[in-house]
């Protein structure tokens, strides 16, 4: 199992789906010990719950960040990345979703979209500073969405609507990306339905809107690509230079005569596309780990557990060994080196019949 900077690190686990009000999921120290006991070496830490991290304090205090790292190390894990998925969602919200997404913001901001957006932007900038103090190189978030109500072109989208939507998204995110540049941390957007950045084409629109900002990166999650019927392996080939984070998450897509990609407004159990625990779905993880290794990805492999059938405890217990079994120690030499001979320009010319 590779743990070197030149290989994929892991296994790690995203804690968002496990945080709760009962032990061991109600405090950082307890959940870190639980994760270590499950076989995880890293934890991806959401930043919306002060029981686990005080984001403002982490942005301002190196001593506090050192304490967080020490507490995690004592439990047997390290922080792989921080996450602002909920805050990132609030950077851009179409009015149709205002009431639904108010729940992601403090109560005093409910019903005030402008103030909510300002708060979200401030949260992302704090996360950049906190990530730097924690010695992290990447950060996870959502892009938010202004265009999602128009993802299907009926009625016909007016000319310029998509361009203006991404221009506004770029205006909101550019100062945040600059803050992450100053911190020396990559900002990784999870490519996810419901976000304006939900596939490769939409990510390219965004890159243009932020002048191909070097810190604008991708959180690669194959489950969301499979459910959209994208080529999730080819996605790595095309965008590997922008992939800065990896959620190891499984899914299956089994269309029938009643519904397909759009799901027919059905619950998760009945949808053709469903999230599954690792190994229970259709994602080719051997292909994914091979491609990421080929392109030199050296970040964490992080379990994001979501499943419509299996219990969370079982999914977490099975996730660590699944990831560990897929980690690849990159070869240090060619497999046929034993048959080689010393090379030289003169010998090469002789072999080509050029030396007379």
pLDDT value for 2: 39
294 assigned to some structural domain: yes
pLDDT at residue 3 above 50? no
pLDDT value for 83: 98
Could you report the per-residue pLDDT of 35-73, keeping only the tens digit for each?
999 999 999 999 999 999 999 999 999 999 999 999 999
Nearest in space to 144 (alpha carbons), one of 162, 126, 117? 117
130 assigned to some structural domain: yes
Q: How many whole angstroms separate alpha carbon 131 and alpha carbon 123?
A: 12
- Average pLDDT of the residues of the chain: 96
pLDDT at residue 5 above 80? no
1 assigned to some structural domain: no
Helices in the chain by DSSP H: which ranges?
A: 28-38, 55-60, 62-75, 85-89, 98-101, 113-133, 161-183, 200-209, 222-227, 232-239, 285-294, 312-326, 345-351
| pLDDT band with cut points at 50, 70 and 90 for residue 232 | very high
pTM for the model? 0.95
Q: Greater confidence, 343 or 193?
A: 193
244 assigned to some structural domain: yes
- CATH number of the structural domain spanning residue 97: 3.20.20.150
| pLDDT band with cut points at 50, 70 and 90 for residue 331 | confident
pLDDT value for 13: 98
Task: Look at the chain and report how many structural domains it folds into.
Answer: 1
| pLDDT band with cut points at 50, 70 and 90 for residue 278 | very high
Tokens, residue 321:
């060994």
| pLDDT band with cut points at 50, 70 and 90 for residue 219 | very high
pLDDT value for 324: 98
pLDDT value for 188: 99
**CA torsion, ordered 56, 61, 138, 113, to nearest 10 deg:** 10
Could you report the per-residue pLDDT of 108-146, keeping only the tens digit for each?
999 999 999 999 999 999 999 999 999 999 999 999 999
Q: How many whole angstroms separate alpha carbon 169 and alpha carbon 22?
A: 38
pLDDT value for 40: 98
Tokens, residue 36:
């270590």
| pLDDT band with cut points at 50, 70 and 90 for residue 337 | confident
13 assigned to some structural domain: yes
pLDDT value for 6: 62
pLDDT value for 342: 82
319 assigned to some structural domain: yes
| Cis-peptide into 181, omega within 30 deg | no
Q: What percent of the chain has pLDDT over 90?
A: 91
| pLDDT band with cut points at 50, 70 and 90 for residue 339 | confident
Q: What percent of the chain has pLDDT over 70?
A: 98
Could you report the per-residue pLDDT of 145-179, keeping only the tens digit for each?
999 999 999 999 999 999 999 999 999 999 999 99
Q: Which residues constitute the domain of residue 70?
A: 9-351
Mean pLDDT value of segment 263-292: 97
pLDDT at residue 4 above 90? no
2 assigned to some structural domain: no
| Residue 159 Ramachandran class (φ > 0 left, ψ -120 to 50 alpha, else beta) | beta
């Amino acid at each position: 199992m590779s743990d070197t900077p030149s290989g994929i690190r892991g296994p790690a686990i995203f804690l968002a789906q496990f945080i709760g009000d009962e032990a061991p999921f109600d405090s950082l120290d307890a959940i870190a010990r639980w994760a270590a006991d499950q076989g995880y070496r890293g934890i991806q830490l959401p930043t919306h719950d002060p029981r686990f991290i005080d984001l403002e304090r982490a942005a301002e205090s190196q001593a506090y960040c050192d304490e967080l790292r020490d507490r995690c190390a004592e439990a047997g894990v390290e922080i792989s990345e921080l996450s602002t998925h909920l805050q990132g969602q609030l950077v851009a919200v179409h009015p149709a979703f205002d009431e639904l997404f108010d729940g992601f913001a403090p109560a005093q901001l409910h019903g005030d979209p402008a103030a909510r957006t300002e708060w979200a932007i401030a949260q992302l900038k704090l996360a950049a500073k906190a990530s730097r103090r924690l010695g992290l190189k990447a950060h996870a978030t959502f892009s938010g969405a202004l265009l999602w109500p128009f993802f299907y072109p009926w009625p016909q989208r007016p000319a310029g609507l998509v361009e203006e939507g991404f221009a506004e998204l770029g205006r909101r995110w550019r100062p945040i990306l600059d803050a992450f540049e100053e911190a020396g941390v990559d900002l990784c957007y999870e490519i996810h339905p419901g976000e304006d950045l939900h596939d490769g084409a939409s990510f390219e629109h965004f890159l243009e809107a932020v002048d191909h900002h070097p810190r604008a990166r991708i959180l690669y999650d194959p489950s969301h690509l499979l459910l959209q019927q994208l080529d999730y392996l080819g996605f790595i080939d095309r965008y590997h230079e922008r992939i800065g984070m990896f959620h190891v998450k499984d899914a299956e897509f089994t269309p029938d005569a009643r519904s397909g990609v759009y799901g027919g407004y059905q619950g998760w159990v009945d949808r053709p596309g469903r999230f599954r625990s690792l190994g229970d779905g259709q994602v080719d993880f051997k292909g994914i780990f091979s491609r990421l290794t080929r392109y030199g990805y050296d970040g964490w492999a992080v379990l994001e557990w979501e499943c419509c059938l299996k219990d969370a405890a079982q999914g977490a217990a099975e996730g660590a060994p699944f990831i560990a079994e897929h980690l690849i120690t990159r070869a240090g030499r060619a497999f046929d080196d034993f048959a080689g001979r010393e090379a030289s320009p003169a010998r090469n010319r002789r072999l080509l019949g050029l030396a007379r």
